[in-house]
Each structure stands twice: as C-alpha cells, then as structure tokens.
Structure 1
Amino acid sequence: MSSTPTPSLRRRSGTAPAPAGISASRDLVVDFIRVACMFAVVAVHLLMMGISVDRSGIGVGNPLTSLSWFAQGTWFGQVMPLFFVVGGFASLTSWRSLQRRGGDAGDYLRNRVLRLVRPTVALYAFLTVALWSATAAGVPGDLLTVIAAGAGVQLWFLAAYLICQAMVPTMAKFHELAPYRTVAALAAGAVVVDVLRLGLEHNPWGFDSNPVGLLNMVFVWGLLQQLGFFYADGFFDRFAGWKLVLAAGACYLAMVPLTDAGPYPVDMLTSQNPPMFPLILVGLAHVLLVKAAYPFLQRCVQLGWVQKVMFVVGSRSMTIYLWHLPLIIAMFGIALVLGLPFPEPASTQWWLSRPVFYVAAWALVLLVSMPLVRLELAGTALAQGASRPAMWRIAAGTILAVIPPFVVMRTALDATNATWGLVLLVIAVALVTGKVPDRTWKTPRLIAKGSVAS
C-alpha cells in the first residue's frame, strides 16, 4: 500500500527506514493495525458467546452485557470505525497506484468486487449446505435460528465495505478538490440522518425509523473512509503527540453529552447497524491515538516475529473475518458433543477458560483458511484475450454483491437467504470476471489434387 506525495496535504506517514525486503513506501503500522483489529474482532465475538447447559437445554447469551463497564468499554473496543479508516488508507493508495498505471473506476471496482466476493461465495456455499442439512436432520428450529443468525453476524461488513469501495473513485476526486468541505458535508449528512431517525423513533404511526438510518452507511462509514484518505496524505503527521492525545480526549469528552445525557446509546456496538454519528468520534479518537503512538508502533513492526504474524493474518484477513464466527460456533458444537464442561457464563471459571478457547479458535480458523485463502489471493487480471466487462456489468455485479449481506444485516441469516444469496454472489462474480471472445474456427480449405498450397 503505497501513496504518492503531492503538494498540500500529501506526505508519507512516518520517517523511519523500512525493514529489509519491504518497500520503503509501505506503512507497516497500517498493516499492524488491521491485524490487531482482526485479533480484537475474534476476541469480542468469542466473549459475546456464552453457552450454558442445564436440564432445560442449551442456552446462548452475551455475558459481556452483564459487565458494568462494558458499554463505556466499547468506546475503545469497538474497532470497526478504525477498520474503515485504515481501509480508506489502503483504498486511496490502491486507487492512485491504479491511476498511474492507466486504470479507471471500472477497473478499481471490478478488482474490489472480485477480491471481496470470491471468498464470500465459499462461505455462502458452506452455509447453504450446512443449514439445509441441519434442517433435514431435525435440528430444533429455534436453536437453528440462533446458530444461523450468529454465523452471519459479520456479513454486514461486506455490504458496508462494498458500498464504501464503490464510492472511492468519486470520493478521492472530492478529496483532491475540497478535502475539508467533503468531510464537513459527510458529517452534516450523518447528523441530519440521525436527527430524522431519532425524531421518528417514537412516532404515533408506528413507523420504523431504522431504514432512514441506513443512509448513514454512506455518511458515517464514508466519512471514516475519508479520514483514511487524510491519513494516507500525512495529515496527522503535522501534529505533536501530545496534541493528538488531547484531540482524542476531546472526542471522548464530546461523546459524554451525546450519550449519557443525549439521544445516543452509550454502547457503540448498538450504534453500528445502522451506524450513528458517535462512531465517527470513536474512529477519529482511535486514529489520533494510533498516530500519537506511531513511533512505538514502528519499532514493534520491525520485529521479525511481528512481521510474520502480520503476514500470516494479513494475507488472509478477509477469509479469517468471514469464517471466524461459523468456526467458533462449530468449535462450541464439538465441545457440546464431546460433553466438555461449560462453566456458567461470566463466572470466574468461564473467564479462566476463555484463553484456551481463543487459542483453539485461532488454530481452527488458520487451519481452515489454508485451502480457502486461494480465493482471496487469486489474481484479478483479465484472462489472456479477455476484454474488460462493460461498466454496466461491473455496476450490476456490485449491486448484486451488496444485496445478500445487506439482507442478512437487516433480517439475520437463514437457509433461504443463504441459498438465493449464493446465487446472486455467483452471478456478481460472473458479471465482473470478463468474457473471453469466442474463437472463430475456420473450415480448412480443400486443396485440389496437384495444386500447391499458398
């Protein structure tokens, strides 16, 4: 992920020499943050799954909600805003690199759809077979509903990220022309959407205001992506560390009247779907703290073992993200079948057992990712002789790719939407892959006896 310095905002992040064998323009701290976010996501999802077994059957709950500090803890532990920021960094550097090679918006979007959707097709195929098989095997409907919903929780990110990726060429242009006005417009849009949504929340007509909030998938996630553009341009490098920490503290201070005394929930996980304005403050605070700790993080990423972990996890991050929840559920299912003890969720014994389950979850995820990562790492170059699909095909493929995870985000996963979702995702990949022209087979010319072929 490299960026090209140009006048005004653009400047490389950090000045320390890059480790041997790694491009000097690559910001390893960004790679480190993405991998750290992945470890945090797996940890949070594991801790949110409390299994209890008693005479009444199997119960599933979220032990974290019983912790008095959990809601405030999400101001620091909710890492998805930071994920969109570092994603914005990667997107802008990739877009600029593509432009230097003569590529356009169609090329960029086609590449992103292939990178994101091909690994998702494998997950949908697995979920389709697994859920229909469980139904045929007579798994109780209520239990299967909980399992299916849990296995699809993470899919909302695919819908949100694809929407943001589709915006990159346009938003990069706005960033070049008017970076601060672009951010201000996105922030204003997020506030307006929240005002409308919260204002309609208790309307007398029973109107569901959540669909209004879906507009913030563009404004909130889009603004966080835009902050990644500023990161790529070295904007945050202008400020001393103490100023960055002070600004991060101001972000958290501003959240107090918005949440404790205001209309927003304190728990930032509940502000995620649809996203709400405070997530912007969380993401900004996180990136400010990252830049304040940048010298320390640079020293960390120069350690050999850290780079190895970053490579293993970073090279299959999409595969890990998509599969970690189904595999965690499968791991707990195996433990139930084996009759392993399940401590009372949130008890001392439960907390002491979490590190073992966390290590086991990562071992299982990495094992399963070994064959699946090929889908994530497969090239996006057109086959020899193939022509790039028309822009309408790329746009249609993008829309079709967004629909299945978007529906899961709104209604939860089940066997039916896993099935038709798989079909749409396969069509999306086919639309953007590119068509090899039909070969023209010429009929051999008959040569008269005694003649000479020319």
Structure 2
Amino acid sequence: MPDTQDGRRPRSALRRAAARIDDATPARRDRAVDALRALAILGVVLGHWLVTALVADGGSLRAASPLAAMPWLAPVSWTFQTLAVFFMVGGHVATRSLASARARGVSYGAWLRARLGRLFVPVTAMLAVWTVAAAGLLLGGASFVTVHTVVKLALSPLWFLLVFAMLTAATPLVTRLNPLWPLAVVLHVDVVRFGLGGPAWLGWVNLAAGWLVPYSLGAAWTRGELERPRAGWTLLVGGAVAAAVLVRWAGYPASMVGVPGAAVSNLNPPTLAAVAFGLAQCGLALLLRDRLRRAMRRPLAWAAVALVNLSAMTVFLWHQTAMMATTATALTAGRLPGLHTVPDGLDWVAARLLWLPVFGLALVVCRAAFHGLEQGTRRSRGRRSRGRRSTVVRVHHRSHRSHRPEPKAARSA
C-alpha cells in the first residue's frame, strides 16, 4: 500500500497544479485558440525532426531528406506542415490584441514594440549562441560543409519570424483585408512564373503574400466572419480540391515542404499549391474549434496546452538545435541508424521514430536553459500593461507555493 500511495502522490500533485491553472484561466478565454497554436507548433517540430536528416559523409555532416528517396511519404508533409494554421491564429490574436490596445488608449508604437520584443529578445540569444558555436566548430577543425549545414538548419526558423514580424507590423492594414486579395497575388505570381516563363525571383513575392492569406483569415475570424461551419467547410473542401488539382494536373510537387535537389519547392517560396493546402488546413482548424473547446475543459489537457504556449518561442527556435546536438553527441558512438545514415528506406523511418523521444529530452534541456528569456519579455510586457500580466503565467510560477486558486482576472490578448 505505501508504494501505491507514493505512486499516487505525483499524480495528485499534477492534478492539483492543473486544477489551479484551470481555475485561474478567465472564463471568457477561447481555449481553442491556444490549442490550435500548440498543435501548429508541435506539428512544425515533429515535421522537421521526421523529414530532416544529418548524414555522416566522411568527415562532414550534410543535410538530407527521406522525401527525396521516398516521395510516396509526401503525406507526412501534409500532416506536419502546419504553418498556415499558426499564421491564421497569429492574425486572429494580433488583430484582437490591437483592438484591445486601442480600447485602452495604448498607441500603435507601444503595442508593436511589445509584440516584436517578445519575438526578437529570444532570437538575439540564439544568434549569440550560434555565433560562438560556429566559431568554435571552425576553430576545432570541423569542415566548412558541416558548419554551413548545421548553422543553416539552426537558423532556418528565423525566416518565419521575419515574415511574422512583418505581418504583425502590418496588422492595422490587415484588420479589414479580404483574404482573396493576397490569394489573387499568389495566383498571378505563379501564372507569370510557371505559366509564362517569368523570372524565378518573382516567386519571392509570395513569401509575404502567401502567408498573408492565412494571417488575413485570422483577421476575418476576429471580425466574426468565420463562425459558421459553412466557412470552415468551404475552406477545407475548396482548398483540398484546388491543391489536388494543382498537384495532379499542374505539375506542382506533392510534398508541401522543400525537398533537397527538387526543381521546385512548395514552401521556399510558397506556391499556390501550398497556399491552397494551407486554406484546407485552416478550414479544418475552424471546424475543430468546438471539439477543442470541449477537450480543453479537462484541466490536465488545458494545463499541457498552456505550458506549450508559454514555451512556444523557445520550442520553435531551439528544436533544430536539439536535434543537431543529439546527432553530434551520438556521432562519438559511430554512424547510428536513423541518425547518421542515409534516409533511403523504411528501416531509417523506423529508427528515426525511436530517436524522437531523445530529441524531445534534448529540447527539454534547451527549454530549461533559454525559457527565461521568453518569460522575461512576458514580464516586461506585463509591467508596461499596468499589471495585466497573463494569469496562466502567474499561476504556473506560483503553483508550488500555494494551493489556493488565483482569481479569474481578465487577461489582455
């Protein structure tokens, strides 16, 4: 019996902590928004860990993808390429936050500094760490190919943050923007680029226009234009059919992520097929909102989602570093299947799945080291907002000091 009681104590403590977080969350908070953001972040992380390989080639490491040797695995990219959902949620949260700031008399400049500070303070630390790491690798005798490969992978998340920052700055212009306008830009760019033999550089226009489509969908969500199930079904069916037609008859790649060596990437820069597929994902996300709201009524589920959201920037910035740190450390034991070998068969896929928990543990270490920077920006924003700091954040930090639930104070968007 003592063993059973001891075994129950951690579970009971966990449930009490989850209950405190649940009780402290304002009743008006739309938990589906947080759940969608968490799912989008985890989708990106798992997608990168599954389709990115570092192959030991002589004395160097080079990047490879299982999608190059096994193109029939393209549906994996359909599942884990969730950036469109993240941009839609980002547009919804930003437009709602801007409206709240204006109602409180906060200037656009102050609002924008607070939003961008949360993005770029953790980025500064990442750049500093990787500058030192790259210099150390070169001085330690690592080949230029290896250093270029690992630095490129580590810093690859930054392109997303630059686009997201640009769209955040443009939020006042996006609040009334119809998503059909940026969609029309993407369509015309692809027609000129692929249909009329236009210059390849023209595709980079879609880096802004392509992600503006789901971001402006988020603004439409804030305006209440996407509340009916019909909107979600239209996006899901219309986007899926359009993507299928473009892949089947217009020659677009089936993979929704970049594949090394491929002539065309659907993601870098975004193509019409990727945008259409993103619309389908956004439609599915909208249709799942009610189910997610019901699921988030469970304290344990909501606590897990809240903690992922509190660490979203840290997880996004450092997940590639966690994978590469594991790969480099394990290289001392030789070329290990699923980690250093060529991703050209199902045996590699099976081995890779076994490495995912190890990548997760490495990411936990990265979170412990760098999460304070993300929290620091939240605290600064809370002080500037006159104490309107996230209730969930406050409960998370105080849960070990008190069993009393915090009051359901309102939280700023």
Give the TM-score normalised by structure 1: 0.71
Matched letter for residue 284 of structure 2: L
Deviations 1:111-161 (A, max 9, x none): 122111100000000110000111111111222222222222222101111
The answer (yes or no) to whether the contact 1:252–1:285 under 8 Å persists in 2 is: yes
1:195 and 2:183 correspond: no
Name the CA shift for 1:381/1:302 in 2 (closer, same or farther; >3 Å): closer
TM alignment of 1:101-180, pairs within 5 A: 101-172=104-175, 175=176, 179=177
Cα distance change, pair 194–297 in 1 and its aligned pair in 2 (3 A): same
Q: 1:272 aligns with which of 267, 272, 282?
A: 267
Alpha-carbon displacement from aligned partner over 1:161-189 (angstroms, at most 9, x marks no partner): 111111102222xx1xxx5xx32322222
- Mapping of residues 299-318 of structure 1, within 5 Å: 299-318=294-313
Alignment-derived partner of residue 217 in structure 2 = 227
What residue in structure 2 maps to residue 32 of structure 1? Answer: 35
Counterparts in 2 of 1:212-291, with a 5 A limit? 212-239=202-229, 244-245=232-233, 247-262=235-250, 264-269=252-257, 270-291=265-286
Q: Deviations over 1:84-132 (max 9, x none)?
A: 0011111111111111111122122211221111000000001100001
Q: Distance in 2 between matches of 1:257 and 1:91?
A: 33
Query: Residue deviations 1:190-230, cap 9 Å, x none?
Result: 222223333565x6xxxx522x2222233221121010112
When the two structures are aligned, how many residues end up with a matched partner? Answer: 352
Q: How does 1:387-426 map to 2 (within 5 A)?
A: none
Give the conservation status (yes or no) of the 8 Å contact 1:84–1:228. yes
Q: Does the Cα contact within 8 Å between 2:77 and 2:255 map onto a contact in 1?
A: yes
Q: Rate the CA distance shift 1:341–1:213 in 2: closer, same or farther, 3 A.
A: closer
1:118, 1:260 → 2: CA distance? Answer: 43
- Deviations for 1:207-264, whole angstroms, at most 9, x for unmatched residues? x522x22222332211210101122333322235xx7446512321122332321153
1:69 is displaced (CA, Å) by 3.0
Q: Is the 8 Å Cα contact of residues 236 and 288 (structure 1) preserved in structure 2?
A: no
Paired AA for residue 267 in structure 1:
S
The answer as to 2:46 corresponding to 1:50 is: no
Alpha-carbon distance change, 245 to 200 in structure 1, aligned in 2, over 3 angstroms = closer
- Whole-Å separation in 1 of the counterparts to 2:375 and 2:255: 36
The answer to whether structure 1 residue 62 and structure 2 residue 65 are counterparts is yes
Q: Give the whole-Å Cα distance in 1 for the aligned partners of 2:218 and 2:97.
A: 12
Separation of aligned partners in 2, 1:40 and 1:347: 23
Instruction: Identify unmatched segments of 5+ residues in structure 2.
Output: 1-20, 258-264, 385-413
Distance 1:57 1:213 in 2: 32
Report % sequence identity.
25
Distance 1:365 1:75 in 2: 24
Does the C-alpha gap of structure 1 residues 161 and 133 become closer, same or farther in structure 2, counting only changes over 3 Å?
same
| 1:53 Cα offset (Å) | 4.8
TM-score with structure 2 length normalisation?
0.77
Gap change, CA 1:299 and 1:163, over 3 Å in 2 = same
Q: What SS class does the counterpart of residue 23 from structure 2 fall into?
A: coil
Report which of the two has the higher share of helix: 2
More displaced, 29-38 or 120-129? Answer: 29-38
Taking the TM superposition and a 5 Å limit, the aligned residue runs for 1:351-366 are 351-366=349-364
What is the one-letter code of the residue matched to 1:353?
Answer: A
Tell me the secondary structure at the aligned position of residue 260 of structure 1.
Answer: helix
Q: Aligned partners of 1:302, 1:209: CA distance in 2, in Å?
A: 49
Q: CA–CA distance in 1 between the matches of 2:283 and 2:125?
A: 37
Q: Which structure has the larger Rg over C-alpha atoms?
A: 1
Query: Counterpart of 1:229 in structure 2: which amino acid?
Result: A
SS in structure 1 opposite 2:266?
Answer: coil
CA deviation map 1:313-357 (0-9, x unaligned): 210111111111022111110011233732553544433333432
